[in-house]
Amino acid sequence: MSSDLTKGASPVPPSRGRIAERLLPDGTEPDPRFTLANERTFLAWIRTSLALLAGGIAIEAFTADLFLEPVRKGLAVLLLLLGMMLSAGSAARWLRVERSMRSKAPLPLPLIVPLLAAAGALAAAVVLVVILWR
């Protein structure tokens, strides 16, 4: 008799976890290729973030003879802050894109792109001014 009750019952889908249920509560699972592509894009941004972090550490060291200490430290802190913001921003972007895909809404604009471009231009401008002023 118990077998008759369970016959035809659909299997319980695996739990997504508490954090996933909380941060991605609505909608349906998107095409798995899109989820994996979103994760790959996130990892690409993380690689850029790591490059900025490493650059921030290195620039303070190898430009000791090129720039004054305040300029050196300022540039290093700028790069490190940018790396941090990119790391956090890429996670926020990943979450927004995942939510958009789940609810079949248009993808959000990537705000970290203009942020990175503006900060990079600012850093380059600072270096140019310092080099020309010397």
Partner 1 sequence: MALVTVSAIFLRWLPHHGLPILALFTVAVTAAATIYLTQRRRYSTSSCGILQEKVNAEIVAVLWTAFAGVVLGILGIAVVLAS
Provide the token pair at 37. Answer: 């592509």
The footprint of partner 1 (CB under 8 A) covers: 14, 16-17, 19-20, 23-24, 29, 31-33, 35-36, 38-39, 42-43, 46-47, 49-51, 53-54, 56-58, 60-61, 64, 73, 76-77, 80-81, 83-84, 86-88, 90-91, 94-95, 98
Choice between 16 and 117, CB closer to partner 1 = 16
Query: Do the beta carbons of residue 124 and residue 132 sit within 8 Å?
Result: no
Q: Exposure pattern of 90-108 as b/e (b: 16+ CB <10 Å)? A: beebbebbbbbbbeeeeee
Looking at the Cβ atoms of 4 and 18, the one nearer to partner 1 is 18
Pick 2 or 47: Cβ nearer partner 1: 47
**Distance between CA atoms of 116 and 55, rounded to whole angstroms?**
14
Q: Whole-angstrom Cα distance, residue 132 to residue 3?
A: 84
CB of 86 to partner 1, least distance (A): 8
CB of 34: closest distance to partner 1 in angstroms? 9
Per DSSP (E only), the strands in 75-132 are none
63 versus 130: smaller Cβ distance to partner 1: 63
